[in-house]
Amino acid sequence: AILSLSLLVCVEGESKPRSSKAVWNIGLCSASFDYFPAVETWLSEVAGPQFDPPINFTATKMNPFNPLIVNGLGTGLFDMVFCFATIAACAEAEHLASPLVVLNNKRAGIMADEMGAVLVVRNDSGINSLSDLKGRIVQAPSVFGSVFQAVWLEMREQGLSLMNDPAMIQFTGHPKLEPVVMEVVARRIDAGIVRTTTLEHMQLHKESHPGFDISDLKVLNLVTQGMRGAEIEPLSSTYFYPEWSLVALPSVDSDVRRAVVSALQSIKETDYPAVHGNFSGFAPPLSFAQFRDMQLRLGILKQLNGPRMECIKDKNEYEAISCPEGYFKKTAEEEANSCQQLGLDCPADMARCICSPCVKVSELEMFAMSNMSSGACTRMRNCDVIRQREVATFVVLAQNQRRNTSWTWAVIDTHLQERQSTAFLGGSMTQNESNPDMHYFNLSVNYRGTHIISVFADGIEVPFSPVLLQVVAAECSEPNTVPNLVGLCEGAENTVWIGGHYVPLSTVLVGVFIPLLALVCLGVYLLFRHKMHKADSQWMIKEDELSYGTSPEILGQGTFGLVVKASYRGTNVAVKRILPSLDRAHNYSKFRMAIRMSEAAFMSPQTTMDNRFDRSGTAEQFPGIEGSHQPMHDYSARGGGGG
């Protein structure tokens, strides 16, 4: 018996399957209740040991309105996703993920694997039907939430528009629903969109929601179709669709799928995952066919080439906005400013607000994309204002027209005064892929002025045609530039091209004049200095330029000095040397030394003053020189001054 048991253990150990991955990743949408213990802890503890070696499961919580929750299946980030119907259906459509199990929820004593949407208002709001929501303020978690989409379809079925009828739709951007109900209670909004059992659960826990009483509220469009398997009928405004579901990619091992399904369906109401998540267990999966059909009709899910589909899950809700028949969507810029134009402020804590994003059209109209708020273009009226060379887009909406109609357009450029000719622009329109009734064309005009746009259907001009197009001057970003005749930027008047830019002529003149003026002033100054220097040189004799020769010649002497012959700049001059003062002792000593050097020559009998005068000239040539002469040493001895 012991041997048989050992063999059985060995056989059982050998029979454990192997997994292609050691860790399987699950994308988990965050919610008011904690599903983490079920999809990570429980699966790792129960399903993991069924493999050799054991495997693990990791769950990553994410905001369900984050596109990454679905995109992660395509990038390899996740192998499975556990979320509500919108995300599960998108995963199934885009990545061929298949549902493994559906949550059997338990809220306020109601246990069911289906859910619906609830449109709740106050009893005293005056709102009694879906049509009364026109001009009201509605709040919901997100345009990508299943509850919002369910109400959206319900209103469309009744010929109403959830997107366009209310004055404002506020999106909280998170899955918590109780705050939406409390906003209705506080009268800050007119209506709120939540999931089924939210009101019943809040009533059961009133102490957690001060001021809440379900008797103060009512549900619009109350349906009584019955919820599958529910003992108590929950309040609902829409049909029912599958609860939260776990979906897996085709790449998940079949053994892993079976182990996951078995582990989750083994959870009892008293097990810790069910207690934490407030559910009773998991049931076999339900079909998303009806929900996927709803997404296709709303434009949330789009059919691509072949069998492939794609969900709109951009964070920018503008991409998800779809307008009812007879309406078209405003441009993204116009839609973003719609609330402000209507005088409605989007609360700071809201992720997004939408205010009347659709515009009603007649059977045949044309709109300028940049000016759609002004309505349709009318015959011989200004339709749009653009700048030179700016590309303008015009949309022609032709409802109830033949689908094979040939739509063309033409522009007559009538700026003849400057062109001296007429230019013809035109061509065929492009049909919108998603809306066959919509055609558009782009045009750009170079010349300023009023131009005529004509629209033709199979060569016949349509009733609203022609319309006018006003073209104004182009904008030039470069400083000191202006648009020319054809809208190209060139230098403005009185500018010059310097260093790759146009510079005002005044700036250039100032830049040239100031240095030139400085040069002129410097030249005048230098000329003045030169003239002064030249004038000074004529009157101010520099002693070091006086040359007395090797044998100074004394022309005469007087009481206060001595007259000596010298050469100054090539000219013979008479220099009178006065005896030096005390503060000029140095100069005097130099002069005295020079006199002594010539004393011998002076005392020679051949070198008398008379003889010198005879050789050099008469005394009359040197006025002021006295006729009596004395030896130089006698003069020096008397201490005569020098000059």
* HSE-up of residue 417 (Cα within 13 Å, Cβ side): 5
Strand order in the sheet with 392-398: 364-368, 392-398, 438-443, 430-431
Alpha helices in 158-244 (DSSP H): 178-185, 198-204
The response to whether 576 counts as a known ligand-binding position is yes
Q: Cα angle at 622 between 617 and 627, to 5 degrees?
A: 85
Amino acid at 276: H
Which phi-psi region, left, alpha or beta, contains residue 343 (left: φ > 0; alpha: ψ -120 to 50)? left
In the block, tokens 């319900």 appear at 154
Q: Please name every residue paired with 171 in a beta bridge, in sequence order, or none if there are none.
A: 140, 352
Question: What six digits make up the tokens of 133?
Answer: 């929501």
Question: What six digits make up the tokens of 255?
Answer: 């053994």
On whether the CB atoms of residues 588 and 577 are closer than 8 A, the answer is: no
Dist CA 390 CA 354 (whole Å): 29
In the block, tokens 């250039």 appear at 508
Dist CA 529 CA 535 (whole Å): 10
Number of DSSP helices (H) and strands (E) in the chain, helices first: 18, 37
Dist CA 114 CA 240 (whole Å): 6
Q: Please name every residue paired with 539 in a beta bridge, in sequence order, or none if there are none.
A: none
On whether the CB atoms of residues 184 and 191 are closer than 8 A, the answer is: yes
Identify the CA nearest to 194 among candidates 217, 177, 175. Answer: 177
Which phi-psi region, left, alpha or beta, contains residue 251 (left: φ > 0; alpha: ψ -120 to 50)? alpha
* Crossing angle for the helix pair 146-157 and 289-298, to the nearest 10 degrees: 70
Question: What six digits make up the tokens of 120?
Answer: 């709740």
Identify the CA nearest to 246 among candidates 62, 87, 22, 462. Answer: 87
Binding-site residues for ATP sit at 576
Binding-site residues sit at 576
